[in-house]
Each structure stands twice: as C-alpha cells, then as structure tokens.
Chain A
Amino acid sequence: MSPWFGRLNWWVTPFSDAIANPNTNNLVAAGAAALVVVGALFTLYFLTRRHLWGRLWHDWLTTADHKKIGIMYVVLALVMMARAVIEGVIMRGQQAAVLHGGFLSADHFGELFSTHGTIMIFFVAMPLIIGLINIAVPLQIGARDVAFPVMNQVSLGLTTAGAALVMVSLVIGKFSTGGWTAYPPYTEAVFNPGVGPDYWIWAVVISGFGSMLSGINFAVTIYKLRAPGMSYMRMPLFTWTALCTAIMLIYAMPPVTVSSLMLALDRNLGFHFFTNDLGGNMMNYANIFWMFGHPEVYILVLPAYGVWSEVASTFTAKTLYGYTSLVIATMAIAVISYTVWLHHFFTMGQGNSVNIAFGIATMVIAVPTGVKVYDWMATLWRGRIRMTVPMVYLTGFFILFVIGGLSGMMLANPTIDYQVHNTLFLVAHFHNVLIPGVLFGMLAGIHYWFPKVFGFRLEERLGLWTAWLWIGGFCLTFLPLYVLGLLGMPRRMPSFSDPAYAPWVLIAGFGALVLLIAMIMLFVTLWVSARHRDRLAVPLGDPWDGRSLEWAIPAPAPEWNFAVIPRITAREAFAVEKARGDPYTRPTAYQDITLPKNTALGASICMAATLMGFALVWHIWWLAALGLGLIPGALIVRAFVRETERVIPAAEVARAHDAWLDAIARAAGVTRDAETETANRGLAAPDE
C-alpha cells in the first residue's frame, strides 16, 4: 500500500498478465483491454482531428436540453451494449467449446457474467429507458423541458461515471466475479480481497444516485409541467408508464444504494452486516437487494409497455384500445412489483407459508400484464396495419414475451422453482422477458422517435433486417437454454462434462453470433441512415401520422419544443385535430421563451464522481476525499451563479415557427402507403 497510489501498481493490467503468461485466456483479456484503450484513443484523435471539441462541449456536454441529454443516454447505452453483447458471445463461445478444452479460465468467465449482467441492467437498460423518457415525455405533455434540467445533466453525469468505472475495470485491475447481484459472503473481503467487488459497488452506488435523481425529475415533470388541459387521463400511455417508472425509481433505488454501501462498510471498515461471523447475515442482503431488484425489472419493462402502446395505435391508425384499463394495469404492476421480491430466493429457507404468499403475489402480477397484451391485440384488430420496423418488433414481442411470461409463471411456483433454481432455465426466462420486452421495446422506441429528435427517419429496409436478426438470434440463443435448464445445467458454468448438453449449447452459441450480427446491423442502420439523411428527412415533423403532441411540432424539435404551449382539449389531441381538419393553427401571438443556460455542472460532477469511485476502489484515500469534496464544491459554486437562464426573443421563435407553418402549407402530405418512401417529408395525409 503506497500512500499516493493505494493498491495501484504497474502489474494490475491484463497486459502484464498476458506478457507474463501468454495463454489464450490472458490474451483475450489483454485484447479486450487493448480495444478499450484503442477505442478511447481513436475517439480523442477523431475529435481533435475534426476540431469537434468545442462543438462537443457547447452543444452536448454542457447542454441542459432534455432531448440532447436523452440522446446522450442512448449513446452511452449503445456503447455499453456493444461491450456486453460481445461478452455474451464470448461466454456462449466458451460453453460451446468447453468439451474441446474451452479457452477461458473460471475466474475470467466469472468476470464476464458479472460485467455482462451489471452492464446490461445498469448501463444499457437503465440509460435506454431514461434516455427515451427524456426524449419523449416533455414533448408528449407539452412542456419546454423537464422540471430540473440541470439536475438532469447531473443524473447523466453520475450514470456515465458508473459506466466509466466498469470500462476502466477492463484495463486496470479486474472486475468482480460475484455476478450482477454481488451476493455476500462471497463478495466480502475475506473471500474476495481484490478490487473486483469494489468496482461493482462504486459503479452501482454512483449510477444509482443518478437514476434516483432521474426518477424525481420525471415524476415532478409529469405532475407539474403538463400543458393546460392535459389531465392525467389525457396523458399518452408512454407518459403514464414513465410516471410509474419514475415513482419506482424514487423508491427502489435507495435499497440497492444502501445494501451496496453496507457491503462497502463490511469490506473497507470491517463492519458485520453480511459477514459469516459476529452476527452478520447475508439473507438481509438478499432481502434488501431484491427490494430494489424486483421493482427494477418493472422499472425497465414499463416504459417498453408504453412504447408498445404508442406503436400499436400509431401504426394501426387507431385509438388505443382500453386506455383506462392500460392505465390501471400499469399502476397495478407498479404497486404489486414491490410485493414479490422474495421469489428471487425461494430456496433460501424462509419456510413454506412465506414462499406461498410471494408465489401467489408473483402470479397475480401476471394478470395486469395479460390485460395489456389483450389491449394491444385489440388495438390491432381491424386497424390500418403497416408492418414497419416497430411493428415487427411488436410482433416478436407478442409471441416471445408471452412465452417468457409463462415460464415466469412456472418459476413463480416455489415447488417448480426448487427444481430449476440457479439453472439455465432461469437464465432463459429472464432473457426471454428482458430482450423481447425491454430491448425490443427500446429499439422500437428509438426507431419511432428517432425522426423527432434528428429530423430524419431510419432506413426502413436495414431496420427490418436488424429486427428480424434480433428476433431470430434471440430464439436461437435463449430458447435452447430452457431445455438445458430442465436437463439440469446450472447457470454461470465455465465448464461441464455432460455431452447431452452439447447440441443445445452449440445452437445457443450459433444464436449468439446471430445476435452479434443483429447488433452490428443496428449500428449499420444508424450509420447508413445518417449518410442518407437528406433523402430520409422529415422536417415537417409527422412521419407516422402520429396521435400525440410530439408529432405536432417540427423535426428535429426546436430547442424550445413548443413555440406556444398548446391547450389540450382531448386525449390523443393531435389525432383529434387532424380528424377535425384544423391541425397546425397559426398562433396569434408569440412570447419570449426562457431556457436554462449551458452549465458545466454535470460534466464536473461526472469527473469528480469518476475520480472518487476509482480512488475508493484502489484505496487512494486522498483522491477519494478530493473527489468527494469536489461534488458539493461544484454544487456550492453553482449556487452563487446568478444568471442561469437565457431568453429567446419572441421574434426569433415566430420566424422559425412561421417558416415551418409556411412549409406545411406548401407541402403535399403522403398517405400511409408512402410512409416509408422518400416522398414522406413528415406531413400526413388521410388515406383515400
């Protein structure tokens, strides 16, 4: 231990391991680390070469615009997803090759499933939903921004700091091998004295604060900033699901922050919350962790349900069926999700009566979910269905998610759970709900709202390829795991010797490659669409004949969102206006618009939190204290800044808005037949 560098020294990188002992396992680790370093260096080079630092700083890193912050969340999620998907492929590869010797050590495999799970939950799924909510909710409720635009920036900074720690762990030191749940006593200092669990703890704690703040921000935005006339029962369904998710973030994030910090106290200061001796009790950890962990599942899936509701009604040109029942179902899920956490550890020994109570609660939560599926299907019934990319995802979701839900019903029965606990059956189940549920939902949402923030559609043909590859890849990879689980194959196994597993493992390994191609196709779609953005442009703002407020403004949405705050007279206000024949009415007067000024607060806190987390991992106490002090320091400095807002003159707003209205008046709309063609400039015309 050096006072200046803590536990840090030159021999903690995978490069030194690879030089000392160049076997396949160490070379894979060093290769991954090299990829991170090269990727970072290339990004720096690219930004410098193209002189983009100024634009990056002014237009993005210091902005408080909810749309840009949402985009940055999604970009963060996609970067992290690239890593986590590759890790999944490597794990499937190891299992496929294991009867021929495999290529990874058990510890390395443990790191892989730990980072894969941690990243997918905290740094892919969470930023995706928070990003999409950021992009869509203020536009859907007729607001200029979220309630606390600068705090929004801080949330993003904290989430990014957590993600940065996980990325750094690839190059400096090693990540935890304790899975994404980090159960003690295995993750206690006695069994795991290294830095791995510390990386997990500080990544989760720091990003957890950010997510909790996001929850507060969204809830207050929806409660307080709705446009006049938008009563709760006039809110679009996505906003409803965002509200439920926000409330759940507020109440579900503290448990994981607390349990992680208690684990940190155990590890660093010798406390005895979860140790084997002196009264420590790991069951308490499991309890607290899953008080977060189970609601978390619904935090992730509810916004996806919101996307499905928007997609189903938009791409069938029908009013959403059963709006009220969908609202009630969403709220019911949010509440019941707090009463089922124990089903994650039926086998821990709390006795039959307790298990039965939680088993029943778990089965009950399927009822509102079932209501939703029927509502969406009824929405499609006799609709003007277009099989666009989001609809393909919806189709995949319908079939696959129901299978995942039904296997969840099996697991909800403690008797069955005892048989398949900790087998690949469970792995199959949660991937089966998280991929077709959350991931497909988010990809559909990105495809759906992409034109609203960027001003051009995504390539439809490539998007369809991507969607079908995700669907096919999912089936090939995860459906075989059900069989393997029932055959008794435990989860998280770096090796096995039973040849009966081999065929299924090989199919899953092939499926993983398909998923890798699907992800690459996603990036190709984004790249190609950006190159053809002129052909795909939809400046008039309404490419899908949308029904809610966000489609009644230009694309990309101006920084002030609405030139004049709309007055809402009905649910699906924009669809009602179009049916009545008076959308795009010219405002009689414009007013000055006040928006928050750029600020470096979020970026500063991101830097400070990253330094602090890194220092805590490596026991560099002076740096940890410095990082910890810089965070309140930045907030205090911010408190003394007097000019935090800037005013956009009414004339400027009027000029932009009138130009857009003139363009609409000149343009000819397209019918739904031409929705995916170049003729679609974002003005919808009714079908003949």
Chain B
Amino acid sequence: MNNRMSAHLHPGLNLGPAHGAAHERSETVLFGFWVFLMSDFITFGILFATYAANTGHIGLAGGPGPGDLFDLKSIGLQTGFLLASSLTCGMASLSLKYDEGASRVAQWLVVTALLGAGFLAFEVRDFASMISSGGTPMRSAWLSSLYALVGLHGLHVTMGLIWIAVMLALLAVVGLSDRVKTRLLLFALYWHFLDLLWIGIFSVVFLTGMR
C-alpha cells in the first residue's frame, strides 16, 4: 500500500508511473495472472511427471520410440521460432512502455503471431509425420503422454495466437486504453511462460529422448 506510486508494483515488466492509473491498476491483475501461471505450471508438471514415468520399456509397449519418431532438425527450428517470438513479444512490451503508439505495438504483435504460427506449422507437420510412421497416441502410454504434454503446449500457443488476434482488434477499436495496456502486459507474461515451458519440453522430451 505504501508503494502506491513506486515504479515496480509487480514482478516482470511494469508500465511505470508515467502511465498513471494504468500502472496502478495493473498491480492486482498482473499478480493474479502470475498466480494463475503457477497453477498452470502444476498442470504441466503433472504431464511432465507422467511423461517421465512412461519412458521405460513398459510405457513404450513395444511401439516406436524417440529414435524412430523425433526429427531434431524440426524441433530445433520450432525452438528458434518460439524463442524469436519471445524477443518480438518483448519488443511489443517495450513499445507499450515507452509510448511508441498503438500501431508499433500492433506491428510487433503481428511478427510475434507469425513466428508463433511458424512454430505451430512445424509442430503439426511433425505430429502428422509421426502418425504416418505408426506413432499415434493410441499406440502406447509413452506416446499418449508425449502427445498430451507437447499437444497441451501447442494448444496454449494456439490460444496465444487467438489472444493476439483479439488484442489487435482491441488496439484497432479501442486503442491503448488502460485496460488494453493491462491486457498486453498479461499477454506478454503468458507468451514468455510458453517459452519457458518449451525449454522444459525441449530438454526433457527431445534432448533426453535422443540421448
């Protein structure tokens, strides 16, 4: 309460006192969203644990394994797309913070969306090729947990793309109102969170799998 006008009201990038009411109002919402992300983290944590528990030969159930199915080149590309999209998302946040105007923010969001869509395209292509070589989620417990974990992340990215579309519409219709600013901060947290999850998936699923 005594930090009302301080520059840093919540973890992560803050709008700063120059944004006045928008800065203050974002405190509670951003904090709540951090809490939500922690809850989402538990969801992923359980899927990670399930995946890890199913990597043995019982979980593979005689079906195709990581060596038969993973295409590390494609995974590397996906990683590149997603990490680059985090950078452009950060640029959108900076444009917001330093008042470069709604259209600059929108431009960075469009670039972020394109990179995210690139990630998804390669992910879907990988899923399709895995399925065509017999790696369906119905084949074994390992594949079930693989599709659940990676698929849930992909679903999050898809929702992120829809979110970007809504934000672009809001920027066009409403402009940079206080509430839109808060929503942009929320979106940025969400998008970086997906990056963090992907680094976990990249390490635990793909790198460990190809060892």
Contact = CB atoms under 8 A, between A and B. Distances in A.
A96 B43 CA distance: 44
Interface stretch (B12-20, B57-65, B94-102, B188-196): B57-65
B39 A223 contact: no
Contact of B141 (A215, A258, A280): A280
Given A271-B138, A273-B145, A220 B28 contact: yes
Contact of A279 (B40, B43, B46, B140): B140
Contact of A250 (B35, B144, B159, B162): B35
Nearest to B143: A272
B14 to A, nearest CB: 15
B28 A265 contact: no
A271 B31 contact: no
Contacts of A262: 50, 144, 148
Interface string B27-54: 1110110011011101100110010011
Contacts of A147: 28, 32
Given A255-B46, A281-B141, A212 B28 contact: no
Contact of A284 (B28, B31, B53, B139): B53
Interface stretch (A324-332, A346-354, A635-643): A635-643
B59 A279 contact: yes
**Chain A: interface size category:** 35 or more
Contact of A269 (B31, B137, B139): B137
B142 interface: yes
Contacts of B60: 279
A250 B39 contact: yes
B131 interface: no
A666 B163 CA distance: 57
B190 to A, nearest CB: 14
Contact of A278 (B141, B162, B173, B177): B141
B35 A148 contact: no
Interface residues of B, number: 43
DSSP class of B's interface residues: helix, strand, loop or mixed?
Answer: helix
Nearest to A229: B1
Contacts of B153: none
A216 interface: yes
A31 to B, nearest CB: 41
A510 interface: no
B178 to A, nearest CB: 11
A287 to B, nearest CB: 9
A39 interface: no
A224 B31 contact: yes
A254 B140 contact: no
A632 interface: yes
Contacts of A54: none
Interface of B: 1, 27-29, 31-32, 35-36, 38-40, 42-43, 46-47, 50, 53-54, 58-61, 63, 137-145, 147-148, 159, 162, 166, 169-170, 173-174, 177, 183
Interface of A: 147-148, 212, 215-217, 219-220, 223-225, 228, 250-251, 253-255, 257-259, 262, 265-266, 269-273, 277-281, 284, 288, 291, 632, 636, 639-640, 642
The 4 closest A-B pairs by CB, nearest first: A279-B141, A279-B61, A271-B144, A270-B138
